[in-house]
Amino acid sequence: QKEVEQNSGPLSVPEGAIASLNCTYSDRGSQSFFWYRQYSGKSPELIMFIYSNGDKEDGRFTAQLNKASQYVSLLIRDSQPSDSATYLCAVRRLHSGGSNYKLTFGKGTLLTVNP
């Protein structure tokens, strides 16, 4: 089982709709969870992070975490064409054998918002 799994998509939604991006992880010791947006040819840009069960809202974005189910999601309300990008889920856990925290990325979900 992969450490961090995402549907590769592409996920296509009309402008103004809600886009729902999902991510599951295998390590129950994972401590914090991040969503990054990556435009083609660019580096990832942090959107949100969450480390407690429940919802966390920031503008049009809501991150949801369920540690019992090992599941984290990102909802984008009122999707805009500029939201079209690859969304990377990343999970942080303590690096084995050391004191550094390691961020493991999923392969990303390609989101296309159609005007």
Partner 1 sequence: GAVVSQHPSWVICKSGTSVKIECRSLDFQATTMFWYRQFPKQSLMLMATSNEGSKATYEQGVEKDKFLINHASLTLSTLTVTSAHPEDSSFYICSARTGGGGNQPQHFGDGTRLSIL
Site residues (vs partner 1, CB under 8 A)? 31-32, 34, 36, 41-46, 49, 51, 88, 92-95, 98, 100-108
Residue 83, phi then psi, degrees to nearest 5: -80, -10
- The SS3 assignment for 97 reads coil
If the CB atoms of residues 17 and 104 are measured against partner 1, the closer one turns out to be 104
Distance separating alpha carbons of residues 60 and 112, to the nearest angstrom? 16
Can you list the alpha helix ranges (DSSP code H) found in 3-114? Answer: none
Beta bridge partners, 110, equal 86
If the CB atoms of residues 40 and 69 are measured against partner 1, the closer one turns out to be 40
Shortest spacing between CB 21 and partner 1, in angstroms: 14
Shortest spacing between CB 2 and partner 1, in angstroms: 10
If the CB atoms of residues 17 and 38 are measured against partner 1, the closer one turns out to be 38
Distance separating alpha carbons of residues 92 and 36, to the nearest angstrom? 13
For residue 31, what are its two tokens?
């401590």
Shortest spacing between CB 49 and partner 1, in angstroms: 5
Shortest spacing between CB 45 and partner 1, in angstroms: 7
